[in-house]
A and B are shown apart, each in its own frame.
Chain A
Amino acid sequence: MGLSRPLADFAAEVGAEGPVAVVGGRTQWDVGGPVAPDARLVSAPAGVVDHQPADMTVRVGAGTTVAELTEALAAAGQFVPLDPAQPGRATVGGVLSVGHSGLRRLRYGPVRDTLLEARYVSAAGRLVKAGGPVVKNVSGFDLCRLLVGALGTLGLLAEVVLRVQPVPAARRWLRGRADPDVVLARLYRPSSVLWDGDSVWVLVEGHPADVAELAGRLAGFAEVDGPPPLPAGGRLSVAPTDLNRFGNERQAGTFLAEVGVGTVHLHDKVTPPSPEPSVLDLNHRVRAAFDPDHRFNPGRRVA
């Protein structure tokens, strides 16, 4: 346990001047567009600092890989539902900064709900704390939620405190053919329901008796090892009630939709829609308030 290097060293390396980009595992390096070539590359400290099973919290360096975090929590029967595609390479800070939730969002909520406290380096090169290390906190404004999905354009994550969850006693992936909305309505809090226009994949987790009972509700479904490979070109964000129509207008197999959530994984690249002008303006004001010179991850666009 412990950090690979002090937070202050990281802050000093980032400094107060010049363009800087932070590298994690490079698993989502393209999200938001290419970083300007003149940006200096830095990496956040790594390591699990403190895990309190009875508080269900863990403090880790942002450069820690998700696999390492998972391993550290496993002994206590706990985990953090970050669920990146490549846990061996993806870092905690990278997953948070990109803000893509994993396939179990339906059950565990968006990835931003896991971040309790963040220590980040500001554009002025200072170490700043947001949030607090406990599971419930309304002391001041919620900067943590702002940092998640910000692609490192507001501050560079150095160390974070995350909410952990108990590992469910049983889990089962099932596959079958049915109307995805009907499947969703028939189950109580499934962990994941995926649909590619043809098949439906379902993950149920919990007490073994409940998992067996839920699986029994899905006539014609068979147990499988896991979800299908995720199309990794791009992600669309669609209102969950529009998914059915969306999918029926497309060729089966060209997408994988998270039913009940609204995330659609595609093979093709996706350009995110632009927010309405008043919201776009607010986005620019937020960026200007935190990083007026755009020295962090220059080139990356959040909105």
Chain B
Amino acid sequence: MRTLLEDLTAALGAGAVKGDPLELALYARDASVMEGSAGCVCFPTDAAQVQAVVGVARAHGRSVVPRGSGTGLAGGAVPIGKPGAEPVVVVTTRMNRILSVDAAARTAWVEPGVLNLDLSRAVAHLGLHFAPDPSSQQACSVGGNVANNSGGPHCLAYGVTTAHVLAVEVVLSDGSVARLGGTDPDPTGYDLRGAFVGSEGTMGLATAVLVRLTPLPPAVRTLLADFPSAESAAETVSAVIAAGVVPAALEMMDQRITVAVEDFVHAGFPTDAAAVLLAEIDGLPGGVDAAVATVVELARRHGARQVRVAADEAERALLWKGRKSAFGAVARIAPDYYLHDAVVPRTRLSEVLQRVYEIADANHVGVMNVFHAGDGNLHPLFLFDRRVPGALERVHEAAGEVLRICLDAGGVLSGEHGIGLEKRDYMPLLFSEDDLAAQDALRRAFDPERLFNPDKVLPSGSRCGDIRSLPEGVWV
């Protein structure tokens, strides 16, 4: 019998399959702190080649791990398998064509490897853009966005990825291709498109995506308010939402991250403020003016020292550059960072944030906060140096405690990064056995043999809430 590498090479051609240890090591991890090992890595160019890969993987008893750009933070693209049975990693970077754009319908068919920002740039001349804007948008793929149902600052008003995906062409585990969803509003049958979005590569591999494109708003105003305490900033968020204003984006940064960003990009952020809120309002001019006035008034009432409304597009771009450079800024000052992700009801932000600082202090880990405050989506950023013995363990300890307090506050495990490997064993804290069985039933309907990404999202045993009980074949 031929080897896995030989069969894949026969199916895709030399050049499209990698098997040497150095190459494999590149695909053993994503942007999380976890690492696995790949059996082979392949780069198909179309659905037919993906079907061929699925056939070969099945014949060799290997699982298939879909991978876009590898920017995922939950270990979704990390290949897990016992020695000798490592998965085939299928990378979509060579499926990166925009297949068609329909300006009248405001839709586009794209291959999964198209990068998020490239798509928006390609349709900008039509006055359109792809609304989901994860901070990683220069690097992450549309296929990865679909698989993780990714969000971004502007998803507060526009909705996360699932609201912008009309149809997905998927290669299933039996090697067949199915088109889920459609160009019409209510295709017959269950909303399988909706079920697939956010399935983290466990239900099939998306080979083409029909995305909805969004018109650029006629008016946009961006403002920065600075606060003497993180609580007053968080309370302003609740007050804005309660007042019936839904900003396009409402982001919060604490002092530590503001200082780091300011050192890095000089966006003019006040480094002596305990927290800043970055709010963007868009729409028609009347509503925008009224909403800006409401936000300014509420910020002042909650103690904002200064509220700066960007005077022009250049100033607006600079404010956003400050927000979007946060991770780059952190990379300059800490050898490693761990970006957390959890959601609480917006009304609980202030108290939960306070607890996050306490937990970090108690575990002797540095923490910074830059997050999507408008939808209660916290992103504590823990700084560490993985060369220091025990440092990563302390980060995991703190991360686990943060999840517990978020759940206690009525929140959930992830707002946008997904469950993947990282939070898989925390799922029983949020869901009962019956709840998890229902999710497993859905996965079974799509992939009865667990060919795709089998060790992700759902816990396999009864392990509960201990991230250190990682499956065989992973290390952190």
Contact = CB atoms under 8 A, between A and B. Distances in A.
Q: Are A and B physically bound partners?
A: yes
Nearest to A140: B439
Nearest to B375: A136
Contacts of A146: 190-192, 194-195, 442
Contact of B343 (A128, A136, A262): A136
A110 B159 CA distance: 12
Nearest to A146: B195
Interface stretch (A20-28, A60-68, A224-232, A279-287): A279-287
Contacts of A130: 435, 438
B44 interface: no
A129 B410 CA distance: 14
Most central of A140, A150, A273 by chain B CB within 10 Å: A140
B241 interface: yes
Interface of A: 52-57, 77-78, 99-101, 105, 109-110, 112-113, 122, 124, 126-130, 132-143, 145-146, 148-150, 154-155, 165-167, 181, 188-189, 206-210, 213-214, 235, 237-241, 258, 261-263, 272-276, 278-280, 282-283, 285-290, 302-303
B163 A113 contact: yes
Interface string B181-217: 0111111111110110111000000000000000101
Size category of the B interface is 35 or more
Interface in B385-437: 410-419, 423, 427, 430-432, 434-436
Contact of A275 (B189, B242, B376): B189
Interface stretch (B147-155, B317-325, B327-335): B147-155
B195 A145 contact: yes
A163 to B, nearest CB: 10
B414 A139 contact: yes
15 contacts: A78-B244, A139-B430, A141-B195, A142-B198, A143-B442, A209-B285, A238-B184, A240-B185, A262-B184, A276-B179, A278-B176, A283-B192, A287-B190, A289-B445, A302-B188
Contact of A112 (B176, B194, B345, B347): B194
Interface in B430-472: 430-432, 434-436, 438-439, 441-446, 448, 457-458
B179 A122 contact: no
Given A207-B284, A210-B285, A142 B186 contact: no
Most central of B159, B184, B190, B192 by chain A CB within 10 Å: B190
Given A136-B151, A139-B419, A143-B442, A109 B159 contact: yes
Contacts of B160: 136, 138
Nearest to A240: B105
A282 B151 CA distance: 28
Contacts of A141: 195, 198-199, 439, 442-443, 457
A207 B178 contact: no
A150 B198 contact: no
Given A139-B414, A141-B442, A146-B194, 9 more contacts: A128-B432, A134-B375, A136-B160, A139-B423, A142-B194, A237-B186, A275-B188, A278-B178, A279-B180
B159 A283 contact: no
B93 to A, nearest CB: 24
Given A77-B244, A136-B375, A210-B286, A145 B191 contact: yes
Nearest to B198: A142
Contacts of B418: 138
A167 B343 CA distance: 25
Contacts of A154: 190
A126 B195 contact: no
B102 interface: yes
B290 interface: yes
Contact of A128 (B105, B239, B345, B435): B435
B185 A262 contact: yes
B278 to A, nearest CB: 18
A129 B431 contact: yes
B218 interface: yes
B11 interface: no
Contact of B195 (A53, A142, A275): A142
A122 B434 contact: yes
Given A286-B442, A303-B188, A53 B242 contact: yes
B105 A241 contact: yes
Nearest to A137: B412
A54 B346 contact: yes
B184 A239 contact: yes
Nearest to A189: B283
Interface string B359-390: 00000000000001001110000000000000
Nearest to B457: A140
Contacts of A189: 283
Contact of A214 (B179, B284, B414, B415): B284
Nearest to A150: B190
Closest 5 CB pairs of A and B: A145-B194, A209-B286, A166-B244, A303-B189, A207-B287
Given A278-B178, A289-B444, A132 B412 contact: yes
Contacts of B184: 237-240, 262
Contacts of B434: 122, 124, 126-128
Contacts of A101: 185-186
Nearest to B239: A54
